[in-house]
């Protein structure tokens, strides 16, 4: 098992990606903090993690609120004494033309996807520096690489995540911390099905050479590798996982 004796925080841990990440990390030997604004969903995922024999701590966390994020990290440190891994997975998405995108919705997307990533990185970094060890994995998107049929707010937020990833990786490499991003293509999750029309879904699926959408488990497998010491010499990278939809 690649993550034995490690502790990982997963934001958005109650969702499709989050569940797959939490279970994969647990099967690889890690205890998990399942952080989500939806407490009931987080509790359900935590219950499944505990069935693997690993510990799971649930925190009701709003990644757009600095106090909430700080409380999440404090709870993890109190429970486990360390935080080895942070996966910034919490996110929202939508598909609409810019003329239909309100300022309020723009600001909400930026707050969750971009500011949330910043706040969570900031909150864990001192604990990781103190141990000269840490793995931060930011969930970006194929939309951070290239134009896609999504809202400009989503694309802008996920492109911004790449900037955070590269700059932070440079800053903390001397402290033994790896910072990388994962850029998935279309992944079949409840959030995806809720926020995209069938026309957009069909268009995105047609762009994938494998002719199938990815699964949350595909992303979880990659994140487990990046969270492990096997990836110890990888930092500041953006790793595409999209079935060949973008090969730039």
Instruction: State the catalytic residues.
Output: 154
Q: Name the residue among 228, 219, 170 with its Cα closest to residue 28.
A: 228
CA dist 15 and 214 (Å) reads 15
CA dist 55 and 57 (Å) reads 7
CA dist 78 and 89 (Å) reads 22
DSSP state of 189: -
Name 230's Cβ contacts closer than 8 Å, sequence gap at least 6.
2
The residue assigned the tokens 């595909």 is 218
Sheet holding 31-36, edge to edge: 56-60, 31-36, 7-11, 85-88, 134-139, 177-184, 238-241
Q: Does residue 22 contact residue 131 with C-beta atoms inside 8 Å?
A: no
Q: Which two tokens stand for residue 81?
A: 């004494």
Beta bridge pairs of residue 57? 33
């Amino acid at each position: 098992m690649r993550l034995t004796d490690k502790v990982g925080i997963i934001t958005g841990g109650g969702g499709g990606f989050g569940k797959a990440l939490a279970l994969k990390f647990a099967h690889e030997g890690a205890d998990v903090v399942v952080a989500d604004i939806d407490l009931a969903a987080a509790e359900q995922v935590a219950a499944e993690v505990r069935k693997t024999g690993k510990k799971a701590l649930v925190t009701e966390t709003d990644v757009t609120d600095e106090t909430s994020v700080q409380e999440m990290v404090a709870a993890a440190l109190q429970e486990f004494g360390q935080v080895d891994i942070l996966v910034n997975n919490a996110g929202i998405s939508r598909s609409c033309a810019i003329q239909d995108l309100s300022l309020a919705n723009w600001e909400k997307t930026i707050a969750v996807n971009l500011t949330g990533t910043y706040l969570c990185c900031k909150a864990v970094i001192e604990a990781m520096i103190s141990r000269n060890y840490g793995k931060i994995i930011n969930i970006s998107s194929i939309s951070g690489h290239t134009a896609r049929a999504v809202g400009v707010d989503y694309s802008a937020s996920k492109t911004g995540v790449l900037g955070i990833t590269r700059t932070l990786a440079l800053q903390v490499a001397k402290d033994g911390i790896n910072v990388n991003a994962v850029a998935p293509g279309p992944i079949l999750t409840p959030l995806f099905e809720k926020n995209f029309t069938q026309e957009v879904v069909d268009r995105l699926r047609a762009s994938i050479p494998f002719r199938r959408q990815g699964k949350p488990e595909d992303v979880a497998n990659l994140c487990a590798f990046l969270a492990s010491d096997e990836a110890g010499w990888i930092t500041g990278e953006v790793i595409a996982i999209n079935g060949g939809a973008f090969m730039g």
